Structure 1
Amino acid sequence: MAGRGQRTDIQGMRALAVGIVVLFHCGVPWLPGGYVGVDVFFVISGFLITTHLLSSLTGAGGISFADFYARRARRILPASLVVVALTVLASILWVPPLMLRQMFNAAIATALYVPNVLFAVQGTDYLAETTPSVFQHYWSLGVEEQFYLVWPAVLALAFHLCRRSTRGLFAVIAVIVAASFVGGLVLTFTNPPWAFFSLPTRAWELGAGGLLAMVMRTDPAWVRSRAAGAAAWLGLAAIVGASLLFDETTLFPGYAALLPVLGAVLMIAGGDVGTSWSPGRAMSLKPLQLLGLISYSVYLVHWPLIVIPQQAASPSAPLPPGALLALGAASVPLGALLYRFVETPFRNPPALVAARPRRSLLLAGAASVVIVVFSATAAQAISAQRLDSGTAAPVIAPRAHPVGTAFVASNIRPALRLTSDDNPSIYDDGCHRDIPSTDASACTFGSDPDAPRVVLFGDSHGAQWFPALLPLAETGAILLETDTKSDCPSVLVDPETVEPYPQCESWRSDVIERLNAAPPALIVLASYSGHYRPPATSAESYGEQWHAALEKTVAALPAVPVDWITDTPHQESTPSICLSAHLDDADACAVDRDDAIDMALQEQERTVDGIGWIDMNDYVCGPEKCPAVIGSYLVYRDRDHLTATYSRALSELLAAKLDLGSRDGDRDRDRDGDR
């Protein structure tokens, strides 16, 4: 590509990419797949960096690694680290105290250039995270920084081993791209967080840009053909189409990532302004050029600008959509300021350009160390902060229509800092299956092997009732068997409309087959009923689908009593986080009962034949409100799961409702015993 001018079309592609990402993060409903803008950035970065490195390899015969890393450090790190520092300070001022340790840990990972690894280890669901880190958008920067670290060495070594053959180098890159794509494809199904966040599973996207750089390095004539221009329009359509058609239910990256990646490749290949029938002229319009110029800075500032106010807002008064759009729009002028006063001055300052590369690298390292030391020290200090009101609450047993405690009690159970770990014990011993697992064997609990065998069957909303059932097993009243798996309902949802993931259907079928081979005394079903509703499906239509799926499930199970525990109320946000900011006003973290419970869906469940319908929500909510604290109990561990502590406290109340041969209690049943 020697002799060709600046690719203004690529600058326009940057504007397109950052625009759809910002709109997606603002919650624009018609752009549910706007996250693919990051994939466009990956292809652009791979193309430009590989073009530069190929020029060094084929021209000078090698790569000056120190110069390369110094230039990358000056280009990327000043703006990045300034935003990290400002985000830390803003979070200290406005983010709820319980989130601060998580924030400091993410700041440390970001300063060390491995935020993507942290989020993968934490099992973050980027597309469905309800309380995201203020540094979550840095995952893509972590991928690129790690790519820049290893890619020059990979190209230089391959070029040497291939005896300076560009064809051989192309073959090596192609193999890397193929291996990375296959790895990402496998992990998308078996370990989605690592597939989404890790460099090995995302390298193929940057590598695709690298392959294009190799193809275009000699400036072939075909790139200015009408066919290439038409293909570039198809590429633009692919990116826009993915933004409009993909959503949080799309298995991503997987096969789906091919659409925006190939779209970006086609746009770069045929998008030059001089290409006939090309979108290059449209991409070169001045507004797009200006946005593309500051796109990196806009990307850095937009996420904390949107997220921090949301985390600071009360759950009872969340930010309206218009406010989110206004915050997203504000990222443009703020990004321009960051570009003007940080990104540009530090890109090629004379004092650093004239010095040895190590000066740039040492300064970058020193800045990172300052952030790491400050964050680590502050994290320790924040851990000592008291997160309760200092007043104890009465220790009372759960009862119907509870009144919430108006403060965070000093004897609250579990403590706010321990809430996220207050899971049923089957999470720790492996009995609750994670997403990659297809192990359909059961775990059994109980002191009396001859007691009636009761099976708990469902997803994580089924598993949350394990602590309530375990005391019955411990006293010998039942022999408890667990069959629970994350994000996998026990209900036979229609795969044409709802498809959680492949391992789910396999696991569920094997469990049902095993139950038919050895029928228990009772099957208890519970699942996250509202979670599996397809985005385009109306509430009424989904209710009918759920009703049909429950009937299908009952028919597939053995002819034994089956109880369905209707879903628990949902909070607007994780209550423990809200409570940490309202220690003396816990009512601020309560939600309206009508908003927390899907009554229409419950009515559909009530009318399913052959099933016992159990509603425990009168012990979780009052007549009007669903409080976060009841007595000395913290009710929820996140937005929609009960704490294991509160679940266990409901044991006797749940036992009274179960179909264990007794018809006592306040059950609401519609059972066909001759099923």
Structure 2
Amino acid sequence: MAVVDVSPAALSRSGRRSSDRGFRPEVQGLRALAVLMVVSYHVWFGRVSGGVDVFLLISAFLLALSFLRKVESGKPLDLVRHWLHQFKRLLPAVVVVIVGVLGASYVLVPQSRWPGIIEQSWASLFYAQNWVLASDAVDYYAEDHSLASPLQHFWSLSVQGQVFILWPLLFLASSVLARRYRLKFRGVVLLVFGALFVASLAFSVWETYTNQAYAYFDTRARLWEFAFGTLLALALPFIRLPRALRIGAGWAGVAAMLSGGFLLDVQGQFPGYVALWPLVAAALVIVAGQTDSPMGADRFLSSKPLVRMGDLSYALYLWHWPVLVLALVWQDRTSPGVLGGFLVIAVSLVLAYATMRFVERPMRALAWADRRRRRAVMVLVVSVALVAAPLTLWQQAITQQAREIAANADTNNPGALVLDPLLNLSAPENVPPIPATTELSKEYFQLDRFCDGEDEPDDELLRKNCNVIMPPSAPVLDIVVVGDSHSQQWSVPLAQMAQERGWKMTFVLLGGCKYGAGPEGRTPECEQWNAAVTDYVLDQSPDLVYTVGTVARSDDPQDVLPAGFAQTARMLDDNGIQVVAVRDNPRFTTDRVLCVESQGAESPDCNPARTATLSDRPPVDELLEQAPDVAFLDFTDYLCRAEDCPAVVGNIFVYIDENHVSATYLRSLTPIFAQRFDEAVQL
């Protein structure tokens, strides 16, 4: 993890009291303990330990001590020089790791994952990784780390990098305010960072409750943790505890740090108020300080192995996650096991030591670059170029490859049409399927015209997820598409028909939320969403509503009706709104593209039996008993052959993951879709 300056010289300036300026090895040992927690929890337990939060606190604690000392001694802050020195020390190790990950990924990682790694490499290089992960709503707690990005852990370094820019500005502002109004500098700092602590903590609690996956990576939801460390630096000179109490506080802090990852509901509640647990634990250790007692926790934390591990902590954090992920990809496993975990840690330690010995220390001691700002800038420019050059070349190669694969798609990639018994088509052999595996991120249906005017929903959440296709003249037909991402994928042929036929088509979609009514199988957010969607549909009064009307499951070939869907469809029909329901597509336990990449398109694993994938009897009778006027569409015969459900049909990938149909395949299905839609709706 990135911190301000953790050399013995710096730590000697972080005394527990202003009169105590001796080297505090227990702080270095605390960092070592935190990184060992992070590594072991990731490797063996698949959990978040809280060790990262300890790093955040220590970073802010040391940064605050440094700036407090500078201002009170009358030294100029010179923020530009500070930032250049800071990133000159941090960035080279980042560059080494990113370049190493790029090389290993090119050899080991399937091509379908290359674009994500490239995107996250850019984001990691410029300290924006956390925002990329937040927007993607990455599941940081996923048990199968082999499917994670080898650079995913850079989110915390990105948050720290952003804070390393913001914090000096806040100290500078505090200094200016103190001089301008003749106030005590520490009092202004207390006010500024105290207000930031309260505001960020309140925001973190709210966002964690409403959108925890996003909050985990959101810098705004993490600022209070840095503010906690800053406030600790302010308070520490005034905390005077008896020796016995400090001994107890030190061990209580260590015990709380080690146990937090197992005792807390990290997945559901971090980084809200629950993150106070590791922060308070680390604060207890810092407050305990050096007890000079053989029974003190500082004796354990000050041991040479832990202090030396503290020196390695930044590089070890950088390396452990990519080594773990790439090892799992190489072995095609979901976890390394006990012995494999030790090997992952051993390799990480070797790489960390080499990075510290040959990169970190030389760059920290590079006085030549510190003497002139332009020299430090030169170091940063060269560091960025060492990553930017291979990334740019790789991106260009991927783009060129995708163009070559799609060059003759009209003749080489008929897709769903080969399953039409009347056409008697076949796909040429030895032709790579489309889309190129590096283009899968473009296979989601997208619209960029938001609903406005009379089409704009009253509900705020709906407004953010409402898009519309508007014909140039009066619409021939008014359709609203509702449901989850599976409704969104069927919007590919629907949107093409709307544009060709002059239909108005509104899309109100929320991922993971099947349309219907009632809490069964739905989150409270989904239940609230569906109620708002139904109100919106009734208010708009379109000609028809289109949605996915069944729920397929990867563990059972028999699909079922979404809870409350039949009743909702009947209610809409009673209000003069026709409902068109399409049967859900098959779902699988593994990624279809990865299966083809690793085993080949003809592998039985990539072509599971149809009887094990989706039943020949959809629950349409049950639906029509309650809503007899629903138009039901079933395209299973174009997603599966007579005996199996293949990953590739007519040289087109049918799916882009384990359950979403590719836009390219749906475009090949559009003529068949249009014919069946017209027959069912009888326009």
Q: Which residue of 2 aligns with 1:332?
A: 345
From 568, 587, 607, give the equivalent of 2:586.
568
Cα distance between partner residues in 2 of 1:589 and 1:433: 48
Map 1:212-231 → 2, pairs under 5 A: 212-216=232-236, 218=237, 220-222=239-241, 226=245, 229=248
Contact 1:39–1:260 (Cα < 8 Å) also in 2: yes
From 159, 178, 187, give the equivalent of 1:167.
187
Cα distance between partner residues in 2 of 1:530 and 1:14: 48
Q: Which residue of 2 aligns with 1:629?
A: 648
Q: Cα distance 1:355–1:154, how it changes in 2: closer, same or farther (>3 A)?
A: same
Q: Shift in Å at residue 63 of structure 1?
A: 4.0
Q: Shift in Å at residue 311 of structure 1?
A: 4.8
Q: Cα distance 1:658–1:79, how it changes in 2: closer, same or farther (>3 A)?
A: same
Deviations 1:635-663 (A, max 9, x none): 22344321223224445655787797689
Contact 2:414–2:668 (Cα < 8 Å) also in 1: no
Contact 2:208–2:272 (Cα < 8 Å) also in 1: yes
Q: Shift in Å at residue 458 of structure 1?
A: 0.5
From 287, 311, 318, give the equivalent of 1:300.
318
Map 1:51-90 → 2, pairs under 5 A: 51-59=65-73, 61-63=75-77, 65=79, 68-69=82-83, 72-73=86-87, 75-90=89-104
Q: Which residue of 2 aligns with 1:208?
A: 228
Q: Cα distance 1:28–1:347, how it changes in 2: closer, same or farther (>3 A)?
A: closer
From 483, 489, 495, give the equivalent of 1:464.
489
Deviations 1:593-627 (A, max 9, x none): 37997769x99998676367765444323466543
Contact 1:491–1:550 (Cα < 8 Å) also in 2: yes
Higher relative contact order (CA 8 A, sep 6+): 1
Q: Cα distance 1:477–1:149, how it changes in 2: closer, same or farther (>3 A)?
A: closer
Q: Cα distance 1:622–1:272, how it changes in 2: closer, same or farther (>3 A)?
A: farther
- Secondary structure of the residue aligned to 1:587 is coil
From 3, 6, 14, give the equivalent of 2:31.
14
Q: Which residue of 1 aligns with 2:9?
A: none
Cα distance between partner residues in 2 of 1:254 and 1:510: 28
2:45 is aligned with 1:28:
yes
Cα distance between partner residues in 2 of 1:597 and 1:446: 43
Deviations 1:129-183 (A, max 9, x none): 9954432222221222232234234214313422452122111111233344455
Deviations 1:481-534 (A, max 9, x none): 533223433244638x85374xx4443212122445676676544389589x9x
Cα distance between partner residues in 2 of 1:223 and 1:551: 69
143-152 vs 602-611, greater mean Cα deviation: 602-611
From 42, 58, 62, give the equivalent of 1:44.
58
Q: Cα distance 1:232–1:282, how it changes in 2: closer, same or farther (>3 A)?
A: same
- Secondary structure of the residue aligned to 1:222 is coil
Q: Which residue of 2 aligns with 1:670?
A: none
Q: Cα distance 1:348–1:525, how it changes in 2: closer, same or farther (>3 A)?
A: closer
- Secondary structure of the residue aligned to 1:483 is strand
Contact 1:305–1:331 (Cα < 8 Å) also in 2: yes
- Secondary structure of the residue aligned to 2:602 is helix
Cα distance between partner residues in 2 of 1:276 and 1:530: 62
Paired residue type of 1:134:
P
620-629 vs 84-93, greater mean Cα deviation: 620-629
Q: Cα distance 1:465–1:263, how it changes in 2: closer, same or farther (>3 A)?
A: farther
Deviations 1:219-255 (A, max 9, x none): 521385639945973785477445555465x365455
Q: Which residue of 2 aligns with 1:591?
A: 606
From 509, 512, 515, give the equivalent of 1:490.
515
- Secondary structure of the residue aligned to 1:456 is strand
Q: Cα distance 1:452–1:119, how it changes in 2: closer, same or farther (>3 A)?
A: closer
2:335 is aligned with 1:321:
yes
Deviations 1:345-389 (A, max 9, x none): 555559624874445664344233333234323433443346649
Q: Shift in Å at residue 207 of structure 1?
A: 1.9
Paired residue type of 1:298:
L
Contact 1:13–1:283 (Cα < 8 Å) also in 2: yes
Q: Shift in Å at residue 37 of structure 1?
A: 3.2
Q: Cα distance 1:136–1:142, how it changes in 2: closer, same or farther (>3 A)?
A: same
**RMSD of the TM alignment (CA)?**
5.1
Contact 1:433–1:484 (Cα < 8 Å) also in 2: no
Cα distance between partner residues in 2 of 1:390 and 1:134: 32
Q: Shift in Å at residue 630 of structure 1?
A: 0.6
Deviations 1:534-568 (A, max 9, x none): xxxxx89xx99986565776687665767363353
Q: Cα distance 1:519–1:605, how it changes in 2: closer, same or farther (>3 A)?
A: same
Q: Shift in Å at residue 108 of structure 1?
A: 3.9
Q: Cα distance 1:488–1:223, how it changes in 2: closer, same or farther (>3 A)?
A: farther
Cα distance between partner residues in 1 of 2:500 and 2:352: 66
Q: Which residue of 2 aligns with 1:668?
A: none
363-372 vs 386-395, greater mean Cα deviation: 386-395
479-488 vs 118-127, greater mean Cα deviation: 118-127
Q: Cα distance 1:339–1:483, how it changes in 2: closer, same or farther (>3 A)?
A: closer
Paired residue type of 1:170:
L
Q: Cα distance 1:479–1:81, how it changes in 2: closer, same or farther (>3 A)?
A: closer
- Secondary structure of the residue aligned to 2:519 is coil
Q: Which residue of 1 aligns with 2:660?
A: 641
Q: Cα distance 1:246–1:610, how it changes in 2: closer, same or farther (>3 A)?
A: farther
Contact 2:127–2:158 (Cα < 8 Å) also in 1: yes
Q: Which residue of 1 aligns with 2:150?
A: 134
Map 1:372-391 → 2, pairs under 5 A: 372-385=388-401, 388=405
Q: Shift in Å at residue 631 of structure 1?
A: 0.3
2:173 is aligned with 1:157:
yes
2:437 is aligned with 1:423:
no
Deviations 1:182-224 (A, max 9, x none): 55566668887875445444332222211111111x1521385
Paired residue type of 2:661:
L
Cα distance between partner residues in 2 of 1:242 and 1:207: 22
Map 1:132-281 → 2, pairs under 5 A: 132-163=148-179, 164-182=184-202, 184=204, 195-197=215-217, 199-216=219-236, 218=237, 220-222=239-241, 226=245, 229=248, 233=252, 237=256, 240-242=259-261, 245-246=264-265, 250=268, 253-254=271-272, 257-266=275-284, 268-269=286-287
% identical equivalent positions: 25
Q: Which residue of 1 aligns with 2:354?
A: 341
Cα distance between partner residues in 2 of 1:596 and 1:284: 63
Q: Cα distance 1:385–1:596, how it changes in 2: closer, same or farther (>3 A)?
A: farther
Q: What TM-score does the superposition give when structure 1 sets the normalisation length? A: 0.75
Q: Which residue of 1 aligns with 2:534?
A: 512
Contact 2:134–2:214 (Cα < 8 Å) also in 1: yes
From 107, 116, 124, give the equivalent of 1:110.
124
Which structure 1 segments of 5+ residues have no match?
534-538, 664-675
Contact 1:295–1:335 (Cα < 8 Å) also in 2: no
Contact 1:422–1:637 (Cα < 8 Å) also in 2: yes
Q: Shift in Å at residue 56 of structure 1?
A: 3.1
Q: Cα distance 1:230–1:561, how it changes in 2: closer, same or farther (>3 A)?
A: same
Cα distance between partner residues in 1 of 2:242 and 2:513: 48
Contact 1:614–1:657 (Cα < 8 Å) also in 2: yes
Contact 1:83–1:300 (Cα < 8 Å) also in 2: yes
Contact 1:390–1:409 (Cα < 8 Å) also in 2: no
Q: Cα distance 1:594–1:165, how it changes in 2: closer, same or farther (>3 A)?
A: farther
Contact 2:482–2:546 (Cα < 8 Å) also in 1: yes
From 429, 438, 442, give the equivalent of 2:462.
438
